[in-house]
Structure 1
Amino acid sequence: MPAISRVDTSFLARWWRNVDRVTLSCVCILIGFGYVLMLAASPAVATRIGASRDMFILKQVVFLTLAGLIVVATSLLSPRGIRRLALAGFVLATAATALTLVHGIEIKGARRWIALPMMSVQPSEFLKPCFAVVTAWLLTERRYRRMLPGMPIALGLFAVILLLLKSQPDIGMLSVITTVFMAQLFIDGLNIFFVGAGAGCMVAAFLGAYVAFPHVRSRVERFLHPNVGDHYQIDTALRAFGNGGLMGRGPGEGRVKDLLPDAHADFVFAVAGEEFGMLVCLFIIGVFCLIVVRTLLKLLREDDPFIVVATVGLITGFGLQAFVNMGSTLHLIPTKGMTLPFISYGGSSAMSVALTIGMVLALTRHRMGESRIPRGRSSFAARKATA
């Protein structure tokens, strides 16, 4: 984008000067990798299922273009606009997630998707960013509106999500949302004893999932015992990394990737390893780390508790999703069907991650001279916040 004069006071000019351009550039880099790796990974997958070789590529071009527009459009909003968007999105995503239990598409024993023309949508993907913002508002607003039972409402909303995701079932998504919620409670000032109790409950819930859900037990046992069950995908992914070595085989020269059933989705990181090598994989990891660390460092100068708690929740979900995908591809953790943000194939994932980063950019945007005190707070609260 060309340089903008400092005397230009238009809305877009102020947005460009105040938005975190480093994070925005990192998002553009990840979207670029998404295009390149989809060109490398998807033709073999499409041919294997009897579809056009270009089907996944053309769809991903549309998905990532929409994702880029969502990032920019959402980053233009004010904190109040982000709250309203999150509330509306949470209501719609919760209703749609409940609808999957009745009219959802069943894939591998789970009902998580709703069929739409040209694509299927996973509504629970949009619960992550919307729930993080709504929870942040409830937890922080209760300090200024004594009659608002923010904590009980937040716990109630979490219980609804828990029941819905358990019924699908989607234990991976539930684990991410639970971790986001615990991180927000900790940042909001929850006693460390209760934080430890919550972590213990998460461990107990995982053990319960291990006993109750056969697919969870299968994945854990395959991770712990190499001679148990089917290891085809993870073994092929590790072969792809080994075949790529330090510098990679070169664009379009990978061969092991063609044997990966989910090379375009959950195992796209292995395609990057084979064709571009370990150095590019480290660069991709560095881009994700830069987004997370830079966002958290910006919060050290933030004095609005809502912005701090909401942004921590959003960036925790983003970073955890990237870690789970790359960690499972490298066989560091049990496999979990979770996409790599902006890189893996998937419309729901690309748009929900775009909404997440757009909200982060909007909340961390520098607002010189703008009041950060939401309407409805008392004059005492306003004086205290501006002191």
Structure 2
Amino acid sequence: MEGKGKGLAMQFEIALFASTSSSKDGIQAEWYTIKVPDPECPPPSSSPNVVTTIEKPLRPFSKVLLAWAYREHAVIGSRLYSFGGMNPDSEPYADVTTPEFVRFLKVRSFDLSTPDDGWKPVATMTFPKRFQPPCVVLDDKLYVFGGVSPSEVEEKGYGWMEVYDPDSNTWEPLPNPPLGFSLSTHFLAYYATLDSKKQILVAEHEGSSLFATFYVYHVLDRCWTLLEPPKRKLRPFYHDPVRGRRSTLVDNIIYWGFLQDGFVRVQSHNIDTDLYFHGRLDAKPIFEDGEFADEYSPKLPLLHVADRTFCLLMFTFFQQKLEEEDSDFEENGIVFLNCIVLDISLDPLKDAGKQKSKEDLDEIHKYHFFGDSSKQLNISLVSVQKYPVRNGSFWLNDAVLL
């Protein structure tokens, strides 16, 4: 799978998880897949515009009634894993005893090669009462951490993180991070895998949201170390709607992005040099007349496709009187799920020898890009696929690359 320059050499596929409605019986959870480029899109030769609206709404490949919406997913081979874990002794869920709630406490997998088999439980975690534990995949093993009562694992010295081996269908608890690390996931800033180094990176807020300490778990040696320098400033000071979520890390550089103030904004942090870079892309080409971003919809991290190609998922709202058969949507318009494919690269010479405009200076001042402001990101729009969301309560919880 490769994506270079302005085009995509091959098709890739994304799995989406959404919750669409709730009742006294539980929450309706649905899973979808989208392909990029989508087969529904016209070929590039007949569509010079990079924005394409898919007429057919998304159709779920799985529907399940849950006691609570899972947030974390992972992919190993053809299997999609979904889990959350909830402490049944905590309020307000102490009285939930339905079979669906019992199933919710199980880690489940869905084999995409045999979809008719549905979701199947896998082995129970060593510490099964985890609530929405973050997860990463490294070398075809699933690592989960946090989401458990700190007192439950602190005395033991292990269990804050554990690993699942799908070949043996077993979980194994791993050593806790060193003293000084908060065992609560509420303080996590970012987490990701350093695949080439066989390491897991966990960044924890240090006293405030502006600083973090970066810890590294060495999978081969089964030990934790601090990443030097140990205390780092989390800059630039964008409002970060995806902080505390799974991060995209490519060649030891963390990427994250979202829409703000009419621009697609992307930031990166080189963990080796402790330098931050940023770039922006005018979002006007993404919107049609009467369309605008839904600022209150959930934000998900960038997905890395291949090479310099990334994908950003975003909701937009189109205020338009619809046909009579769609009368349910007349008052509110229609919501689109946008799959925005971006080409992102670092160009250290981008601003060299060029006088900055007032807009550039305002941008640097507003978001505090002093010192490294010449080292910016080049961002270009590859394509946008818009999918009409026929359910007004469609809430996108997670997305993973298949």
Q: TM-score range by the shorter chain?
A: under 0.3
Which structure exhibits the higher relative contact order, with contacts defined as CA atoms closer than 8 Å and separated by 6 or more residues?
1
TM-score (norm 2): 0.27
More helix by percentage: 1
